[in-house]
Amino acid sequence: MVSGPENPLWEGKIYRKYGSNWHVQRDAAKHRDGYACKHCGTSEHAHGRALEVHHIVRLLDFDSTEAANVLTNLITLCTKCHRKADSELYRARKAAQGYQVPPARIRPG
């Protein structure tokens, strides 16, 4: 099954899942990060395709997409590093490197 940007339904899914301000916040994060992967330094030009923007704390851990899309929770990554970013270990390391990782919200019930 095709997932991610190759999936023709991806843009629509992103809008519903990532919230209405996602595209603006994603572009702002890339601009802040100098259009380069913050983990390995690969530039968007060298990457050969658009770099990805990762939520340091999962979207699921927030009550709203707008809260999850704050710039302090976003980091620009290449495709390879984005895969690594899915591990808890990686998030913990980013926090240790000085990223202001917002605390996960505890959901009632």
Is residue 40 within the footprint of Zn ion (CB under 5 A)?
Answer: yes
Q: Provide the Cα torsion 18, 13, 42, 45; round to 10°.
A: -120
Binders of Zn ion in range 5-34 (CB under 5 A): none
Q: Judged by CB under 5 A, does residue 75 bind Zn ion?
A: no
39 is a contact residue toward Zn ion (CB under 5 A): yes
Q: How far apart are CA 44 and CA 46, in angstroms?
A: 6
- 36 touches Zn ion (CB under 5 A): no
Q: In this structure, are residues 36 and 42 in contact, taking their beta carbons and an 8 Å threshold?
A: yes
Q: 80 vs 105, which CB is nearer to Zn ion?
A: 80
Q: Cβ 34 to Zn ion, closest distance in Å?
A: 13
What CA–CA distance (Å, rounded) separates 61 from 72? 15
Question: Per residue, what are the HEC states of 65-78?
Answer: HHHHCCHHHEEEEC
50 binds Zn ion (CB under 5 A): no
- The single residue among 81, 85, 90, 91 that binds Zn ion, judged by CB under 5 A, is 81
Tell me which residues touch Zn ion (CB under 5 A): 37, 39-40, 42, 78, 81
